[in-house]
């Protein structure tokens, strides 16, 4: 019987049990590299990247190689996609040659169209709306630090409401873990997504708290997470940067949190904008571990999809 393919598109498509399984599998993948060296034998997986990337692209390429697979790096501009071939037609071609495709692009709908039109797994490597691979690594990093399931753990996201926040909200809601968002009233989380999450919370039991005052938001925090104020593809706006200034993660702001507060950032950072170097490079920062864990969590995801 043909196996029904799974994609990894938004995290909304994964259950609490599956997310927990991926986190636990990552622990084994990280510890026992050789055990997984044949998972992708004879598999060809393409990376289609239409936005810049350092961590995601390198970690997928290295991860696919470490799992024994072959990796092709593509971009729309040098494909017929750039001359108007449709995403659905392109998906049919992917289906003929490839065993999987990892896509970083602008519109979420384009990834969804590809996923609908092929029988191979499609992985979202970031869109304007979601960044689920990042959040797998973030959840694993918290798990490894014994924070993820710690009772009353206070996790605070500070700054812009973007793709990373959307995916964090989904991950925390699926797992039933509370999350606080410290954001400017002009840049609050997506209303449609919040409606979906409210429905999921009814079962998972988590609480999403939105607070406009950054000092109140980070009070007694165990973890503070931030991301850039201007995402790839967003228009640079001096007004937005001005509005978000009070949300900078700096020494003064984090002095309101617990003394051993962990600082997270998906990177790349715009130093001295959303976060100061003093904080990013401090012993509280686990941003570099988060980045390393991208490799291990994505290898676990690929192992899950191809086993």
Binding site for ligand CP (CB under 6 A): 53-56, 126, 134, 266-268
> Is 266 assigned a catalytic role?
yes
Distance of alpha carbon 157 from its chain centroid, rounded?
14
Residue 275 binds to ligand NVA (criterion: CB under 6 A): no
User: Catalytic one among 104, 184, 265, 296?
Assistant: 104
Known catalytic membership, residue 259? no
Q: 265 is written with which tokens? A: 């950032």
DSSP per-residue codes, 253-296: HHTTS-TT-EEEE-S---BTTTB-HHHHTSTTB-HHHHHHHHHH
The yes or no reply on residue 142 touching ligand NVA (CB under 6 A) is no
DSSP 83: G
**Taking a C-beta distance cutoff of 8 angstroms, is the pair 242, 278 a contact?**
no
Q: Which of 166, 187, 134 is nearest to 297 (CA)?
A: 134
Nearer to ligand NVA, 196 or 232 (CB): 232
Closest distance of CB 61 from ligand CP, Å: 11
131 classed as catalytic? yes
Question: In 3D, which of 189, 163, 187, 65 has the Cα closest to residue 111?
Answer: 163
Closest CB to ligand CP among residues 97, 288: 288
Is 64 an interacting residue with respect to ligand NVA (CB under 6 A)? no
- Residue 232 binding ligand NVA, by CB under 6 A: yes
Contact flag: residue 227 with ligand NVA (CB under 6 A): yes
**CA 64 – CA 72 distance, rounded (Å):** 10
Comparing CB distances to ligand CP, the nearer of 74 and 267 is: 267
Task: Enumerate binding residues for ligand NVA (CB under 6 A).
Answer: 162-164, 227-228, 231-232, 266
Q: Which residues are catalytic?
A: 104, 131, 134, 227, 266, 294
């Amino acid at each position: 019987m043909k196996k029904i393919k799974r994609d990894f598109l938004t995290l909304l498509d994964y259950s609490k049990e599956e997310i927990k399984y991926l986190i636990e599998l990552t622990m084994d993948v990280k510890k026992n590299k050789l055990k997984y060296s044949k998972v992708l034998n004879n598999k060809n997986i393409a990376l289609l990247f239409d936005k810049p990337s350092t961590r995601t692209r390198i970690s997928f390429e290295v991860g696919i190689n470490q799992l024994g697979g072959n990796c092709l790096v593509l971009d729309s501009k040098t494909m017929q996609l750039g001359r108007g071939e449709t995403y659905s037609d392109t998906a049919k071609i992917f289906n003929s040659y490839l065993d999987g495709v990892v896509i970083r692009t602008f519109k979420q709908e384009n990834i969804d169209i590809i996923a609908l039109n092929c029988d191979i797994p499609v992985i979202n490597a970031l869109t304007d709306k979601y960044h689920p691979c990042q959040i797998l690594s973030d959840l694993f990093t918290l798990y490894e630090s014994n924070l993820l399931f710690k009772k009353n753990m206070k996790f605070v996201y500070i700054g812009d409401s973007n793709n990373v926040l959307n995916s964090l909200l989904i991950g925390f809601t699926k797992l039933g873990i509370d999350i606080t968002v410290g954001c400017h009233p002009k840049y609050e989380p997506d209303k449609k997504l919040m409606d979906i999450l409210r429905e999921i919370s009814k079962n998972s039991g988590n609480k999403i708290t939105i607070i406009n005052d950054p000092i109140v938001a980070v009070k007694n925090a165990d973890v503070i997470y931030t991301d850039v104020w201007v995402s790839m593809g967003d228009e640079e706006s001096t007004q937005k940067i001005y509005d978000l200034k009070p949300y900078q993660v700096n020494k003064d702001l984090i002095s309101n949190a617990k003394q051993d507060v962990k600082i997270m950032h998906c990177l790349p950072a715009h130093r001295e904008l959303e976060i100061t170097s003093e904080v990013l490079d401090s012993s509280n920062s686990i941003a570099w571990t988060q980045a390393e864990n991208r490799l291990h969590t994505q290898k676990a995801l690929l192992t899950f999809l191809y086993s």
